Copies of this chain bind each other. A is one copy, B any other.
């Protein structure tokens, strides 16, 4: 089996930064807890748990003996205010590119523009972004743009992990409907690079493996982009899933595999998948 890895795959800058922060604190024997899932990757979360670093879902269950870390996706403005009010010390591991969107939103709040957030309204990044906005609408389909009015100016921001093709399609529709549109292209460059890399890879290989958390937004986008180009695209969380007999039967038919991974997928997991395919023998080969 020939193995090709996407030119850009795996940990992004924001994830590396967050893990570095935790590593440094852990090495100095700090006791740590995280507000929310640091990133959407179970392997990473389990590794942290093994080191005694867990996460809490509610600020009311704070352990005041532990140092608090904020998740990469950001937290609600009201939660940040709660922490400040109570004078609780915390280390902010929010991705700086997400934090920048909060600042952009605060700027737009000063204008009369409605804030249009393109993304998944149930994703923690979007919930946090939205919490900073005075007058906002979260949209994830053309259909949801029907509320826009021609004369009502809008400012648009995007989830950092949005599919850039979808973002452009939405902008097309918005400028048809609204006369004055302000656009902040807040899709992060790591997202765009990973998406471009999988677009290049997908047509060249027989099938693709996209590695990443099942609730990882950017991984799902990579999967969707790949699937449109090459229908033999499979989304797994880690290499153990590859041993599924149904999958191995499918792999028998192929000679080349492309591998990509979401921004929260650790290098070890990518390596494990490569090792699996290095050792994989099709019936022809064996």
Taking beta carbons and an 8 Å cutoff, which residues of A are in contact with B? Answer: 167-168, 171-172, 175-176, 178-186
Contact = CB atoms under 8 A, between A and B. Distances in A.
Chain A contact residues: helix, strand, loop or mixed: mixed
Contact of A171 (B171, B182, B186): B171
Nearest to A192: B176
Contacts of A183: 175, 180-183
Contacts of A168: 172, 175
Contacts of A181: 182-183, 185
A176 B187 CA distance: 10
Indicate how many identical chains form the complex. 2
A274 B172 CA distance: 37
Contacts of A180: 182-185
A184 B113 CA distance: 13
A186 B180 CA distance: 9
A256 B176 CA distance: 32
A183 B178 CA distance: 10
A38 to B, nearest CB: 27
Sorted from nearest, which 9 A-B pairs have the closest CB atoms?
A: A182-B182, A181-B183, A175-B185, A179-B185, A180-B184, A168-B172, A175-B183, A171-B175, A183-B183
Interface centre among A176, A179, A183, A184 (most CB of B within 10 A): A183
Contacts of A178: 185
A179 B175 contact: no
